[in-house]
Structure 1
Amino acid sequence: MKKPLFAFLILPILFLVSSCNRGKAADIENGKDKTTTVQTDSVKEPIIQTIDTIDFNKRMVALSNNDTTGRWPVKAPYPLAGALLPYNRIIAYYGNLYSTRMGILGEIPRAQMLKKLQGEVAKWQAADPSVKAIPALHYIAVTAQGAPGKDNKHRMRMPFKQIDTILSWAKPINALVFVDIQVGHSNVKDEVTNLVQYLSMPNVHLGIDPEFSLKNGEIPGSKIGTFTADDINDAIDILVDIVRKNKLTPKVLVVHRFTQGMVKNYKNIKKVPEVQIVMDMDGFGDKVLKKDSYVSYIYREPVQFTGFKLFYKNDIRKNWVMYTPEELVKFTPKPSYIQYQ
Structure 2
Amino acid sequence: MKLKHVLLAGLFTFSSLSLFSSCSQTGGKTTKANTAGGAAATADGADTTVKAVLTPIDTALYDSLMVKLANGDTTGKWPVKKTPYPLAGAILPFKRVVAFYGNLFSKKMGILGELPPKEMLAKLKVEAKNWEKADPKTPVQPALHYIAVVAQGDGGKDGKYRYRMPFKQIDTVLYLAKKIDGIVFLDVQVSLSTIKDELPLLEKYLMMPQVHFGMDPEFSMKDGSKPGKRIGTYDAADINYVSGYLADLVKKYNLPPKILIIHRFTRKMVTNYQNIKLRPEVQVVMDMDGWGEPDLKLGTYRHFIFSEPVQFTGFKLFYKNDLKKEPHRMLTPAELLKYKPAPIYIQYQ
Range of TM-score over shorter length: 0.7 to 0.9
Residues in 2 aligned to 1:338 and 1:49: alpha-carbon distance in whole angstroms: 24
Q: Which amino acid aligns with 1:84?
A: I
Residue of 245, 261, 264 corresponding to 1:254:
261
Q: Using CA pairs below 8 Å that are at least 6 residues apart, which structure has the higher relative contact order? A: 2
Among 155, 172, 178, the alignment partner of 1:171 is: 178
Shift of the 117–50 alpha-carbon distance from structure 1 to 2, 3 Å rule, reads closer
Which residue among 59, 71, 84 is the counterpart of 2:65? 59
Rounded Cα–Cα distance in structure 2 between residues aligned with 1:52 and 1:321: 39
User: In the alignment, which of 190, 194, 197 is matched to residue 183 of structure 1?
Assistant: 190
* 1:339 corresponding residue in structure 2: 347
Q: CA 1:110 to 1:10, structure 2 compared with 1: closer, same or farther past 3 Å?
A: farther
| DSSP 3-state at the match of 2:113 | coil
- Structure 2: tracts of 5 or more residues without a match: 9-26, 29-53
Distance 2:96 2:284 in 1: 13
Q: CA deviation at 1:14?
A: 4.5
Partner residue in 1 for 2:315 = 308
The answer on whether the counterparts of 1:10 and 1:98 sit within 8 Å (CA) in structure 2 is no
Tell me which of 319, 323, 328 is aligned to 2:331: 323
Correspondence list, 1:224-303, <5 A: 224-303=231-310
Q: CA shift at 1:111, angstroms?
A: 0.5
Q: 1:200-259 CA distances to partner (integer Å, 9 max, x unpaired)? A: 100000010000000111000000000000111111111011101100010000000011
| Identity across the alignment (%) | 57
Structure 1 residues not aligned, in runs of 5+: 1-8, 17-32, 35-47
- Which residue of 1 is the match for residue 127 of structure 2? 120
- The structural deviation recorded for 1:316 is 0.7
**Pairing partner for 2:79 from 67, 70, 73:** 73
Q: Give the aligned residue type for 2:70.
A: S
Q: Give the AA of the match of 2:344.
A: S
Corresponding letter in the other structure for 1:287: P
Q: Deviations over 1:164-190 (max 9, x none)?
A: 000010111101100000000111122
What is the CA RMSD across the aligned residues, in angstroms?
A: 1.8
1:198 aligned partner, one-letter code: Y
Pairing 1:208–2:215 present: yes
Deviation at 1:49, TM superposition (A): 8.1
SS at match of 2:76: coil
Shift of 1:11: 2.4
Question: Post-superposition shift, 1:148?
Answer: 1.2
Aligned to 1:12: 4
Q: Compute the displacement of 1:84 (Å).
A: 0.3
- 1: distance between equivalents of 2:199 and 2:338? 34
Task: Decide whether aligned partners of structure 1 residues 145 and 131 sit closer, same or farther in structure 2, where only a CA change above 3 A counts.
Answer: same
* 8 Å CA contact retained: 2:5, 2:153: no
- Write the mapping of 1:22-61 to structure 2, written as runs, cut at 5 A: 50-61=56-67
Asked if 1 retains the 8 angstrom alpha-carbon contact of 2:7 and 2:109, the reply is no
- 1:220 corresponds, among 219, 224, 227, to 227
Report the counterpart of residue 149 of structure 1 in structure 2.
Answer: 156
**Relative to 1, partners in 2 of residues 1:49 and 1:135: Cα closer, same or farther, differing over 3 Å?**
closer
Aligned mates of 1:157, 1:249 — CA distance in 2: 26
Cα shift at 1:329: 0.5
Q: Is the 8 A contact 1:188 1:232 kept in 2?
A: no
Aligned pair count?
305
**Deviations 1:53-72 (CA, angstroms, capped at 9, x unpaired):** 11110010001102111101
Q: Distance in 1 between matches of 2:217 and 2:70?
A: 26
Deviation of 1:199 after TM superposition, in Å, equals 0.6
Q: CA deviation at 1:10?
A: 8.3
- The runs of at least 4 consecutive aligned structure 1 residues that moved more than 6 Å come to none
Q: 1:230·1:269 contact (CA, 8 Å) conserved in 2?
A: yes
8 Å contact kept, 2:7–2:106:
no
1:161 aligns with 2:168: yes
